[in-house]
Chains A and B, each alone.
Chain A
């Protein structure tokens, strides 16, 4: 079982709709959770961080965390063509080897 799992996609969403990206993780000791956006040929860009159960909103982005289910998601409202990118989920554990573990990413395409 991979430590951090994401559906590779591609996920196609019409412009203006809500895009929902999901991520599950295996380490129950995980304490920090991040979403990065990576455009083709570019480096990852941090867009959201979440540390506590519940929702965290920032503009059109909402991160949701459920530690009991070991699940974190990212919602993008009013999707725009510029949101087309690969979205990486990263999970951090503070027990033992403190590092971020990345999922392989979900490729999102917004259809005009």
Chain B
């Protein structure tokens, strides 16, 4: 079975711009969660989507948003980028919603200059 895929793998953006990241979960998995990983804060939960509905949301500003399509693929968008948004963005897929095993993609490394 193919794993979780994320595109793009690397991205450089300028402050004030917006960015869209994409995630394709493992075939058959309907839950996609997004995380931000930084050296100082570790892995921070952004949000989870299941069957095209946002199930949970972490403590991030409204500039961070996401959506999920009928084929379970998910996108996250960050508007008005700030320097502090530089991070590794990881998505994880799971066959079920909630707190079950999650399998991570390779991540998108975002650098904001």
Q: Which residues of A contact B (CB under 8 A)?
A: 31-32, 34, 36, 42-46, 49, 88, 92-94, 97-105
Contacts and interface: CB of A to CB of B under 8 A. Distances in A.
B50 to A, nearest CB: 10
A88 to B, nearest CB: 7
Nearest to B42: A104
Interface of B: 33, 35, 42-43, 45, 48, 55-56, 58, 88, 90, 97-107
Given A98-B98, A101-B45, A103-B42, 7 more contacts: A32-B99, A43-B90, A44-B43, A46-B104, A94-B98, A99-B33, A99-B48
13 contacts: A32-B100, A36-B104, A46-B104, A49-B101, A88-B42, A94-B98, A98-B98, A99-B56, A100-B102, A102-B42, A102-B43, A104-B42, A105-B42
A97 B56 contact: yes
Interface residues of B, dominant DSSP: strand
Nearest to A6: B42
Q: Which of B45, B90, B99 gathers most chain A CB within 10 Å?
A: B99
B102 A46 contact: yes
Given A42-B106, A43-B106, A100 B42 contact: no
